[in-house]
Amino acid sequence: AFGETAFIWEGMRLIEERRGAQVASYVYEPGSYVPLARIDADGNRLAEPGPPAAQPGPGLLANPLAAPGSASAETQAVSRLPAASGISYFHTDPSGLPEEVTDEGGQVRWRASYRTWGSAIEERWDAVRADGSAIPAAQQRHVGQPLAQNLRLQGQYLDRETGLHYNTFRYYDPDMGRFISPDPIGLAGGLNLQQYAPNPTGWTDPWGWAAGLWGGDGQPASFGDWFNQATPEQVSSAMENPTSQKAIKAALRGQGGAHEWFPVSEAAKAKQLGFSYEELMRMSSPRDQVWFDNVPDPKNPGGVLSGPHSTGAKLPAGQSGRASSAAHSILSAELRAATSKADAIARIKGFSARYVRGGAAMTKGFC
């Protein structure tokens, strides 16, 4: 019936909606919930049988009929559509929230501005050029055809009757920035049962199940990818949340057993100074080779401390972990005062030469 909309899904991802003879199909970035394009057509969406679809390869779009990671996820989806289909392109913010939709000629068909948690402040359908200038009515290609654009944060679809966002397993209230129902797994998901995420810029939750920074659908595949792509503000925000802070520290420590010359507790500062994940992982030394010497004793002015790098295990008689603790405090303070990557490296080298046996040799290759 014309008054009903049928939604077609591939796995957990919306790929098509049909209302009467109108069909809208969605193309996403490969392996993601970030919308790339929308194809509007009348009647049956698929073209008449033709040549086989292209095999996955460079330059192919994500197939809207395929789930992320599936064998057909990168076939040439556009070749399966009628020649008369209208194609529109999404322009999103870094979190994947659509801000504009343009047609093939670059005319803006829809645009919106939002509050922090995805509540739309304004939606506009007046046709403008990409630079924002008005288009004379005679040159507009979609007069009287407002685009119904309901995609929101990754995995969300706006219900215009309620103002809520359908988020696969739950409904999300963008005015509150929270789900309206508790986490399906109860307290196993944490004490905050209706939390969307610590913040909506560095985190995504396309299923309404579990927010994350990396490794999930619509997220960077690895911590390294996330860290290198994140802004300093996103890393700083993630480090303020106990759960994500723990995950970041674990990722930067790798397999453990190493002394980080740029302490993982200062990850936000490292990002601010321009260090990459790969650079931070190279700036480490085996803990059993690190011995601290001549470290000022904060409890005994004028006194110094000496001892091995702490491992969390009980030390042999006569050895103290206080040297390790005090040395790490000094190093962190030095790095927090750094004004550039070069300055940070110089401070690390100065610290290693002053307070670590053989430290100058350990940090010689840093640049």
What averages of pLDDT result for each successive group of 10 residues across the chain (367 residues)? 82 90 89 89 58 41 43 45 72 91 90 95 84 73 80 95 94 95 70 80 77 65 84 84 77 80 94 95 92 94 91 70 93 97 97 96 89
DSSP three-state, residue 57:
coil
Instruction: Look at residue 326 in the predicted model and tell me its pLDDT.
Output: 95
How confident is the model at residue 169, as a pLDDT? 87
Query: What is the C-alpha separation between 110 and 89, in angstroms, rounded?
Result: 10
Domain-by-domain residue ranges, the chain?
5-135, 258-362
Rg of the chain over Cα atoms, rounded to whole angstroms, equals: 27
User: What distance in Å separates the CA atoms of residue 95 and residue 215, rounded to the nearest whole number?
Assistant: 15
Query: How many angstroms separate the CA atoms of 121 and 110, rounded?
Result: 14
Instruction: For residue 325, give the nearest of 350, 344, 299 by alpha carbon.
Output: 299
239 with 226: CB under 8 angstroms?
A: no
Cβ pair 147, 88 in contact under 8 A: yes
Closest residue by Cα to residue 38 from 4, 107, 98, 89? 89
- Both structure tokens of 45: 């969406």
Q: How far apart are CA 285 and CA 257, in angstroms?
A: 9
Model pTM? 0.53
* CA–CA separation, 79 and 87 (whole Å): 12
Q: Residue 94 half-sphere exposure, CB side, CA atoms within 13 Å?
A: 14
Task: Quote the pLDDT of residue 210.
Answer: 65
No. of H helices and E strands in the chain? 8, 16
- Residue 119 confidence (pLDDT): 96
Q: Tokens 């797994």: give the residue.
A: 185
Residues 58-77 as b/e (b if ≥16 CB within 10 A, e otherwise) read eebbbbbbbbbeeeebbbeb
Q: Give pLDDT, residue 94.
A: 80
pLDDT of residue 85: 66
Most distant CA pair in the chain: distance in Å? 88
